[in-house]
């Protein structure tokens, strides 16, 4: 591989870093995963303990090209979370229907509240740990 080829290869690998990370995650699932039935009837393959992490500090969201992703829904859902909204009306008004099976009759769902509450819980736990460490 010449220097120009290496440059092209390196740039492709950078561009598709998230895809390659995802593919590295699913490869052992396909090779060693055990079958499990699910509520949809399509079935899944599973392995225990695998995870993938992405650094979000640079302001990017790892959308994958190896998997069909509805970017518009993802963006509206992230904005919905950040608004601390708990009702799916805003999502439905913007064509996002992924949460439609789960809300209460009045449209209340909870993830925004749960996330907000989780952050408060983490702050409280951090305060308890610091207080305990100072004793």
Span 35-83, pLDDT tens digits: 988 888 888 888 888 888 877 777 766 776 667 778 788 888 878 877 7
Read off the tokens for 91: 């999502």
The rounded Cα 115 to chain-centroid distance in angstroms is 14
pLDDT value, residue 94: 92
> Is a pLDDT exceeding 90 seen at residue 93?
yes
Cα gap 123→135, rounded to integer Å:
19
101-126 confidence digits (pLDDT tens): 878 888 887 655 555 565 666 676 66
- CA neighbours within 13 Å on the CB side: how many for 51? 3
pLDDT value, residue 21: 81
pLDDT value, residue 51: 83
Decide: 50 and 27 in contact? Cβ < 8 Å: no
Give bridge partners of residue 46 from the DSSP assignment. 34
Give bridge partners of residue 26 from the DSSP assignment. none
pLDDT value, residue 11: 59
Report, as an integer, the average pLDDT of 5-22. 66
């Amino acid at each position: 591989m010449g220097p120009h080829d290496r440059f092209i290869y390196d740039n492709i690998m950078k561009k598709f870093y998230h895809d390659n990370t995802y593919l590295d995650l699913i490869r052992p699932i396909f090779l060693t995963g055990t079958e499990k039935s699910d509520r949809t009837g399509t079935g899944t393959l599973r392995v225990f303990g695998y995870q993938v992490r992405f650094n979000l500090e640079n302001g990017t969201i790892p959308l994958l090209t190896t998997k069909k992703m509805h970017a518009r829904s993802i963006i509206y859902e992230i904005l919905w979370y950040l608004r601390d909204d708990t009702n799916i009306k805003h999502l439905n008004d913007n064509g996002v229907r992924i949460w439609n099976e789960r809300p209460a009759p009045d449209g209340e769902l909870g993830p925004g509240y749960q996330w907000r509450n989780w952050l408060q819980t983490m702050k409280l736990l951090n305060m308890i740990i610091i207080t305990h460490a100072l004793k």
